[in-house]
């Protein structure tokens, strides 16, 4: 996977707090945000064809309905030195997602590439999307739909993005997380994996495999860790 494709894909990453809803490693986001006055940190490593990434995305909700994420990544392709990405995102909820109900939100963000700034007048990927989620069977199955737009740094116009994912509860602590999404030109991509809560609602690990649906392979593997705090920003 080239760095341009990778940067647009990860621009859609966002965060949430409930053990029954979307979070890293899913690209398709959910209609929830971290609890008021609480924070979380999502970290993961991702191995692509010819490159590797190390990510950390801290997020907090200081005001009650605005989740702010500031984080970034280090990426290495082949034997080249590591390069850096920095991500900023804000997310709010218009209709909270409840058990057996549906929710609606909005997220906007910017993925900056400081290492490319000297060579380009604009080294940013601007994006926004609307997450829609629906819960079934007391959260045994939760579906997520994202519709949005992104303007990669090498393009002058925005393009449409979309994602469709689900979380299927296998045991109280283990979830199956398949999804299909399109954040770049070309064929859509898919990802599937497992999420496991070591400490329910506080400590989570995950593992996924992803690739492109037909055409040239963009295969990747990821391993992640997620830590969630109780409310403390009083």
Q: What residue ranges define each of the domains in the chain, with the CATH number in brackets?
A: 3-228 (2.40.160.40)
Q: Which helix (H) or strand (E) holds 223?
A: strand 220-228
25: preceding bond cis by omega (within 30 degrees): yes
- Cβ atoms < 10 Å from Cβ of 38: 19
What span, in angstroms and rounded, lies between the C-alpha atoms of 172 and 102? Answer: 21
Indicate the pLDDT class of residue 11, thresholds 50, 70 and 90.
very low
pLDDT at position 166 is 96
**The predicted structure's pLDDT at residue 121:** 44
Structure tokens given for 220: 């990747």
- Residue 26, both tokens: 């899913």
Q: Enter the pTM of the model.
A: 0.84
Average pLDDT for residues 184-212, to the nearest whole number?
93
Average pLDDT value for residue range 109-116:
80
Query: With 90 as the cut, is the pLDDT of residue 18 above it?
Result: no
Q: Is a pLDDT exceeding 90 seen at residue 49?
A: no
**DSSP code of residue 158:** -
Q: How high is the pLDDT of residue 22?
A: 55
Asked whether residue 14 carries a pLDDT value surpassing 50, the answer given is no
Mean pLDDT score, 144-151 = 93
> Mean pLDDT over all residues of the chain?
85
Q: What percentage of the chain reaches a pLDDT higher than 90?
A: 66
Look at strands 179-182 and 220-228 and give their pairing: unpaired
**What separation in angstroms does the CA of 79 have from each of 61, 75, 82, 90, 172?**
39, 11, 9, 34, 42
Cα separation, 158 vs 89, whole angstroms: 18
């Amino acid at each position: 996977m080239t760095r341009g494709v990778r940067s647009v894909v990860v621009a859609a990453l966002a965060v949430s707090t409930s053990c029954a809803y979307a979070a890293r490693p899913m690209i398709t986001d959910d209609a929830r945000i971290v609890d008021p006055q609480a924070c979380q940190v999502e970290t993961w490593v991702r191995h692509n064809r010819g490159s590797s990434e190390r990510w950390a995305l801290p997020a907090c909700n200081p005001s009650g309905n605005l989740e702010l994420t500031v984080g970034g990544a280090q990426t290495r392709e082949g034997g080249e030195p590591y390069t850096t990405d920095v991500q900023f995102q804000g997310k709010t909820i218009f209709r909270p997602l409840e058990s057996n109900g549906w929710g609606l939100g909005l997220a906007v963000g910017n993925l900056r590439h400081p290492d490319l700034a000297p060579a380009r007048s604009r080294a940013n990927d601007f994006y926004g999307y609307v997450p829609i989620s629906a819960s079934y069977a007391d959260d045994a199955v939760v579906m997520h739909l994202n519709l949005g737009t992104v303007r990669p740094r090498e393009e002058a116009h925005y393009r449409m993005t979309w994602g469709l994912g689900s979380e299927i509860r296998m045991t109280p602590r283990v979830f199956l997380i398949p999804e299909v999404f399109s954040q770049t030109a070309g064929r859509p991509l898919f990802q599937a994996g497992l999420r496991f809560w070591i400490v329910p609602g506080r400590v989570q690990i995950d593992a996924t495999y992803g690739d492109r649906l037909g055409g040239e392979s963009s295969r990747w593997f990821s391993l992640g860790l997620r830590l969630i705090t109780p409310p403390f920003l009083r």
